[in-house]
Each structure stands twice: as C-alpha cells, then as structure tokens.
Structure 1
Amino acid sequence: MSVETFTPTMNSGDAVSLTESAIKHFEAKLNNQPGHMVRLSTKVSGCTGYAYVLDVAEQAEDDDTLIKASDTLTLAISAKALDLITGTEIDYVKEGINGVVKFNNPNVVNECGCGESFNVT
C-alpha cells in the first residue's frame, strides 16, 4: 500500500486547507464543468453525529465561506458546517488502487468504526 506525499496549501485565515493532491483531484473532477466549485457541508448522520458532504455547485450559498484554493478551484463551505470543520485539512490519498478524500479534522473527538461519521466537542 502506498500513500502519496503531500504539502498542505492554506491561505492565512482560511477555515479549511487543501493539500496539493486534493486540489489536483478536485480540479480534475471539475475539468468539464467550468465555473463550478466544490461545496463542503455536513449533515447529521451515522452513529456518532455528523458526516461530511462534498458537492459540485454552480454557485455558493449566500452565507458560504469561499476559499480560492487555486486559479481554477474554489471551495465553498457551508456556514452551518464551519464550526465543525474549522482547521480541517482536506487530502486526497491513494491507498493501493483506490483514491480517497480524507478529512484531517482537529475538532473530532469520536468517529464511528467505518469512518463515515464523526463528533466534535
């Protein structure tokens, strides 16, 4: 099993950072959808509380926080999710032949066994 090496990319004051690997992954996903962005939110889910939700969006919601990750990638973060995910690093790693988006969230105090949901203090 191999894991790609990454260097975090974060602008001063950003609530969330993305590694170069994550930026390249999302840019590739949006390649055929110019003008679209990735939107990160959370929902109540699973056995421990919350789940991350990633969507492709044409535009941000009115109260979203916007992060310009690169010249072609903007991340919109739901205002309701901001307190749960502030300080999170989003990474994209290859584990064998699979690629997975990972959320390295310093606020998490408990996760379910399958990794699908989390809880914060």
Structure 2
Amino acid sequence: MSITVSAAAARHIQRSLAKRGSGLGLRLAVKTSGCSGLAYAIEFADAARPEDLRYESNGVTVLLDPKSLAFLDGTELDFVREGLNEGFKFNNPNAKAACGCGESFAV
C-alpha cells in the first residue's frame, strides 16, 4: 500500500512549501462530490494527525487519512503542464470512471 509523488510534482511541492515558508508536506483525501461521486482533496499539512498514514516519495511527505487509502492506494501524484494550464494529476489505478471535466471519479 502506497502513494507516490512524481519528480515533477515533488519539485512543485518543495517550491510551494519554500514560498509558503512552512509546512510538513501535503495532505491527500477523498471526499464525496462531483458528478462521478468522489473528488480529490489536497492541501498543505503543517503537522501530522495521530491517525494519519505517512508516505515519503521523492523527498516529499504525503499524509493520508486511513479512510481514503482504499480509494487512493497505488496512486501517483504528478504535476503536468498542458498548454497554458498546469496542475496536479492523480494517476489512480482504482478509478474506474471520471467525469468529463476531470474533477471527480468513481471506483
């Protein structure tokens, strides 16, 4: 069971944490939302919670609540640039369907 971060995502996260001036890493979660049923939640984490699962990948700490692991196990967090747009991309082997806008997914 694991969550990984690509080299491109790790560079972006490290730059963002440095610009922010603090932070332990990223907190990932899954919430009920969107037309496909589930959506990714991502935020900076300043401290770990007692229940958090902790993963280290490419020098970045990723914290995950245990309930989200079933939906995110094996996921790679990437950072991509497509034309003028850039952002995080979840390469999730558990996702069986996604909405057209890419904001939500189903398992």
- Whether the aligned pair in 1 keeps the contact of 2:22 and 2:46 (CA below 8 Å) is no
Matches of 2:23 and 2:33 in 1, distance apart?
Answer: 30
Tell me, in whole angstroms, the C-alpha distance in 1 between the residues paired with 2:25 and 2:81: 23
How many residues matched?
106
Query: What is the distance in 2 between the residues matched to 1:83 and 1:54?
Result: 16
Measured after TM superposition, the shift of residue 33 of structure 1 is: 2.7
Partner of 1:86: 73
Q: Which residue matches 2:41?
A: 53
Q: Which residue of 2 aligns with 1:33?
A: 21
Paired residue secondary structure (1:46): coil
**2:9 is equivalent to residue 22 of structure 1:** yes
Superposition TM-score, scaled by structure 2 size: 0.90
How far 1:35 moved relative to its partner?
4.1
Aligned-residue sequence identity (percent) comes to 39
Amino acid of the structure 2 residue aligned with 1:20 = A
| Residue from 6, 13, 32 that aligns with 1:44 | 32
Higher RCO structure, 1 or 2 (CA under 8 Å, sep 6+): 2
| Residue number in structure 2 paired with 1:102 | 89
**TM-score, with normalisation over the residues of structure 1?**
0.81
Once the two structures are superposed, residues 10-52 of structure 1 have per-residue CA deviations (whole angstroms, 9 ceiling, x without a partner) of xxxx511111000001111101333432100111001111110
- Runs of 5+ unmatched residues, structure 2: none
Q: Runs (4+) of structure 1 moved beyond 3 Å?
A: none
- Structure 1's unaligned 5+ residue stretches are 1-13
Q: Deviations over 1:38-88 (max 9, x none)?
A: 1001110011111101111111221111112244x2110111110001011
CA contact (8 A) 2:7 2:58 kept: no
- The CA distance in 1 between the partners of 2:49 and 2:30, in whole Å, is 14
